[in-house]
Amino acid sequence: MVSKKEFKKAQEIINDYKSQINKLIIKDHICMCCKTKEIKHLDELIIPDATKQEDGWWDGGVVEKITFGYGSRHDMRSFYVAICDDCIQELEKSGLAIDVKEIIKKENEYGL
């Protein structure tokens, strides 16, 4: 039987290892729109799986995974992309980025 103290110590070792791996694999990103602003990974949250970077904390923007579906030349490929806060604001103003809340609002208006 493992004591609580031993269990906590083992968890600390695992979290330390995951943190070290995160630092090797998960890097800061440059905004894909302006190509200048850096979106920095905040180390406070350990991402348990480097292929789930969208679950991490990012400063100055967002990092998301996009996956192309059937019909695209990139069918079944996935990429991480980053957009800084300033660019997403500009994209929203121009109508190129649509706030999901607005779509939900319209669905509700139509009774969906």
| pLDDT, tens digit (0-9, with 9 covering 90-100), for 51-90 | 788 888 899 999 999 999 999 999 999 999 999 999 999 9
How do residues 13-28 score in pLDDT, each as one tens digit?
Answer: 988 888 788 778 888 9
> What residues does each domain of the chain span?
4-109
Q: What angle do CA 102, 68, 34 make, to 5 degrees?
A: 65
Strands 78-84 and 61-67 turn out to be antiparallel
Strand runs labelled E in 19-92:
29-30, 38-41, 58-59, 61-67, 78-84
Single-letter amino acid code for the residue at 92: E
Q: Which amino acid is at 34?
A: C
Residues in the chain: 112
Query: Residue 45: which pLDDT band, with cuts at 50, 70 and 90?
Result: low
CA 12 to centroid of chain Cα atoms: 24
